[in-house]
């Protein structure tokens, strides 16, 4: 391969990687604007949801629909020994609960996800202290038998991902999410 083609390949690969960091800002300008204008944080949305449904929050996600931003918070509630998933929608500007619904199907796989020592709210606070920015999404996942939180923040148009051990609170990894 000629020297010119090598340089072109390197430049193209760099552009693709840098483009990924700014992808959030470019994928939906209305959603981005709503996210930036949100006065309620993901942490506050989680608190509001768990005040409404007593249980353990396992996921928060910023959504945009019908011209408005809101957080969808999944809360696992113990229903006589059976985990029950509740989805609570929290307005991103006012903090009001827009809707709450229980998903009635069995969520037995969720049991491992709810028996952790670190809360989603604590993981969000750790991610913000570590990477900075505003939380767009947070999720409790189990990988290779180990529960962990994956928290995505947005700072200056770039997405960052912070992975936190759900039992110790230790940061496993943090950096720009390409």
Place of tokens 């619904």: 101
pLDDT of residue 21: 40
Which pLDDT tens digit goes with each residue over 137-154?
Answer: 999 999 988 999 999 999
* All domains in the chain, ordered by first residue: 29-176 (3.10.450.40)
Please determine, for residue 24, whether its predicted confidence score (pLDDT) is greater than 70.
Answer: no
Q: How confident is the model at residue 110 (pLDDT cuts 50, 70, 90)?
A: low
User: What mean pLDDT do residues 57-71 have?
Assistant: 96
Nearby residues of 25 by Cβ (< 8 Å), 6 or more positions away: 32, 157
Place of tokens 């770039």: 158
pLDDT of residue 113: 56
pLDDT of residue 112: 54
64-92 b/e (C-beta count within 10 Å ≥ 16 → b): beeeebbbbbbbbbeeeeebbbbbbbbbb
Q: How many CB atoms lie within 10 A of CB 60?
A: 28
Whole-prediction pTM: 0.81
User: What mean pLDDT do residues 33-46 have?
Assistant: 96
> Can you name the residues that pair with 69 across neighbouring β-strands?
64
Angle of helix 120-131 relative to helix 42-52, nearest 10 degrees?
170
Asked whether 63 and 71 are in contact (CB, 8 A), the reply is yes
> Can you name the residues that pair with 87 across neighbouring β-strands?
74, 101
pLDDT of residue 140: 96
User: What mean pLDDT do residues 36-55 have?
Assistant: 96
In three-state form (DSSP H/G/I as H, E/B as E, the rest C), the secondary structure along 104-148 is CCCCHHHHHHHCCCCCHHHHHHHHHHHHCCEEEEEEEEEECCEEE
């Amino acid at each position: 391969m000629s020297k010119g083609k090598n340089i072109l390949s390197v430049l193209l690969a760099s552009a693709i990687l840098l483009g990924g960091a700014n992808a959030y800002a470019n994928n939906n300008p209305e959603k981005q604007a709503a996210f930036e204008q949100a006065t309620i944080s993901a942490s506050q949305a989680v608190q509001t949801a768990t005040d409404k449904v007593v249980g353990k929050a396992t996921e928060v996600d910023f959504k945009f629909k019908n011209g408005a931003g809101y957080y969808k918070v999944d809360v696992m509630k113990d229903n006589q020994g059976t985990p029950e998933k509740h989805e609570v929608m929290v307005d991103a500007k006012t903090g009001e609960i827009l809707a709450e619904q229980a998903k009635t199907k069995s969520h037995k796989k969720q049991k491992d996800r709810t028996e952790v020592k670190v809360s989603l709210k604590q993981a969000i606070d750790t991610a913000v202290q570590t990477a900075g920015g505003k939380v767009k999404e947070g999720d409790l996942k189990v990988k290779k038998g180990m529960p962990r939180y994956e928290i995505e923040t947005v700072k200056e148009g770039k997405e960052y991902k912070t992975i936190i051990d759900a039992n110790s609170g230790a940061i496993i990894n943090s950096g720009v999410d390409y």
